[in-house]
């Protein structure tokens, strides 16, 4: 939760989906803030190694763990092992997410479940054990990555909007439960950000709805996450911060 000081160097930040895209940028920011960084991913080991290389080239250190955040048994086992090795986890960033867009009336149940489970089961499976580790230390920051779709809805994204809106509700509730224990819980809601996830999105159409008339960069999200995880945000909890070029 600290920025570039000796304390941070002995602490750990966990970034789910930290192997690529926005998660990679967040992992690099967390490393710059001085944390040892644990990145998790599901199957892209090569991308995870690349992220670790980038962290080390910049003078930091980290490790990678592969598991599905939505799989309670697998995530539980992986988190138990991780938390037994890292006793000063000060940051958790719930970034792993998927989209499976389709008009609601045509949406297969498996796509509804997959998106909801990755986001909300993922939040449960990751945040609960990490909070249990943070509570005795009375210190920590959790940031979850939602989306502008949670706030305004989006055609073809009923599953995604529902999952991300759920993340906001869960974060607010948990924030109020742990606020007195020195732990802050916030949400960042990005707009359209240049990653593999938006390869199939109608970028031209969406761009016309962005007042800044451009797509965001992963680093622009990561810097806001870093702020929320730092002591500069020591009185900020239960909030959702939009990073979307001015979309309403
Ligand atoms: P990417 O698709 O580029 O990366 C997704 C990351 O999440 C990968 O590391 C992937 O690992 C991991 N991941 C996906 N599912 C799981 C799972 N079940 N268990 C563990 N890891 C998983 O996504 P972005 O970087 O674009 O998005 C990051 C977050 O930001 C997501 O939550 C997304 O919803 C949100 N967001 C993105 C926006 C955008 O415009 N890009 C806009 C608003 C929000 P692997 O490669 O191994 O599968």
Q: Which domains does the chain carry?
A: 4-240 (3.40.50.720)
Phi, psi values for residue 34, rounded to 5°: 105, 0
> Is residue 248 pLDDT above 90, yes or no?
no
243 token code pair: 């990073």
> Is residue 4 pLDDT above 80, yes or no?
no
Tokens 């867009």 belong to 101
pLDDT of residue 58: 97
CA of 170 to the centre of ligand 1 (A): 19
Around ligand 1, the residues with Cβ closer than 6 Å are 16-17, 19-23, 40-44, 47, 68-70, 95-98, 118, 145, 147, 190, 192-193, 195-198
235 is catalytic: no
Q: What is the mean pLDDT of residues 236-242?
A: 98
204 pLDDT band, cuts 50/70/90, is: confident
Tokens 């002591």 belong to 231
Q: Whose CA is nearest to atom 31 of ligand 1?
A: 97
Give the integer Cα–Cα distance in Å for 58 and 148. Answer: 31
Q: Whose CA is nearest to atom 23 of ligand 1?
A: 197
Contact by Cβ (8 Å): 159, 116: yes
Length of the chain, in residues: 248
DSSP letter (8 states) at residue 5: S
CA of 136 to the centre of ligand 1 (A): 30
> Is residue 57 pLDDT above 70, yes or no?
yes
Which region among 3-12, 77-86, 91-100, 122-131 has the lowest average model confidence (pLDDT)? 3-12
Counting from 1 in the atom list of ligand 1, the atom nearest the Cα of 43 is 47
């Amino acid at each position: 939760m600290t920025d570039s000081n000796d304390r941070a160097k002995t602490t750990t930040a966990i970034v789910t989906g930290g192997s690529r895209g926005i998660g990679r940028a967040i992992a690099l920011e967390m490393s710059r803030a001085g944390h040892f960084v644990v990145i998790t991913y599901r199957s892209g080991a090569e991308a995870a190694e690349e992220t670790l290389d980038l962290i080390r080239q910049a003078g930091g250190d980290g490790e990678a763990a592969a598991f599905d955040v939505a799989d309670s048994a697998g995530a539980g086992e992986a988190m138990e092992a991780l938390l037994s090795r890292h006793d000063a986890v000060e940051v958790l960033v719930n970034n792993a997410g998927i989209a499976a867009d389709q008009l609601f009336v045509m949406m297969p149940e498996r796509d509804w479940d997959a998106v909801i489970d990755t986001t909300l089961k993922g939040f449960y499976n990751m945040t609960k054990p990490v909070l249990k580790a943070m509570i005795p230390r009375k210190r920590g920051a959790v940031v979850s990555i939602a989306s502008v779709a949670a706030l305004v809805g989006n055609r073809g994204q009923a599953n995604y909007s529902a999952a991300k809106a759920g993340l906001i509700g869960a974060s607010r509730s948990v924030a109020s439960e742990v606020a007195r224990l020195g732990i802050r819980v916030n949400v960042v809601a990005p707009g359209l950000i240049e990653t593999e996830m938006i390869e199939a999105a109608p970028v031209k159409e969406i761009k016309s709805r962005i007042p800044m008339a451009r797509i965001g960069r992963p680093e622009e999200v990561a810097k806001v996450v870093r702020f929320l995880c730092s002591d500069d945000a020591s009185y900020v909890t239960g909030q959702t911060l939009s990073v979307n070029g001015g979309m309403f």
